[in-house]
Amino acid sequence: MPEEWEGPVKMWDGPAPPAQAPDPNDHLQYMRLALDQAQESPPKPTNFCVGALLVDADTGTILERGYTLECEGNTHAEQCCLIKFAKAHGLPEERVGEVLPADTVIYTTMEPCNKRSVGNIPCVDRLIRTKGPDGRLRIKKVYLGVKEPEKFVGANEGIAKLQQHGIECIHVPGLEERILQVATAGHET
């Protein structure tokens, strides 16, 4: 005979179980979160809807999130991450390297841009200048979901230029179809 319940069910009132620790090696997990960001981006026929995350690779902590056109003006996802993280530390974007952890990585659904419309600094150059007071790069790895399609600027030389400057570019496979669907929302077919 099963024991009968006595009185109402008692709810657990002890400490909350620990949240699952982030795993810095689960790149697909971070790319999915970057894709979530891309989905927040307002569709625009003349650019791509991209999402990005800054992550401290030593701890797996997400430092910042961003998406295309999130910040004021004609802003890119990677640029928004840098602007927001710098601002949270009271600094302008160009000084973000002073406050980024030594082993910061960026996840972006699309290869960072190397050419922009007039008056904008490409994200590749923004990443290359994230140097700390010791003169060393703070972002040495870029995880990307897809290369940039040749639609607006011809072949994007983003990966090549990053690598020339000692920034490793790593493709995270698995979400390409969805990333491109989100990136091209609002484009003519």
Compare residues 127 and 137 and give the one whose CB is closer to Zn ion.
127
Compare residues 29 and 39 and give the one whose CB is closer to Zn ion.
39
Backbone angles phi, psi at 146, to 5 degrees: -145, 155
Q: Is 68 in the site for ligand HJL (CB under 6 A)?
A: yes
For residue 166, give the 3-state DSSP assignment.
coil
Give the residue from 162, 51, 56 showing the smallest Cα distance to 105.
56
Q: How far, in Å, CA of 53 to CA of 38, rounded?
A: 10
Instruction: Give the binding range for ligand HJL (CB under 6 A) out of 6-14, 18-26, 89-97, 110-118.
Output: 110-118
Q: Is 167 in the site for ligand HJL (CB under 6 A)?
A: no
Question: Which of the choices Zn ion, ligand HJL, none does residue 50 contact, using the CB cut-off of 5 to 8 A by kind?
Answer: ligand HJL
Q: In the sheet where 168-171 sits, what is the strand order?
A: 61-67, 51-56, 104-110, 139-146, 168-171
Using CB under 6 A, list all residues that contact ligand HJL. 46-48, 50, 68, 74, 76-78, 108, 110-113, 116-117, 120, 123, 148, 152-153
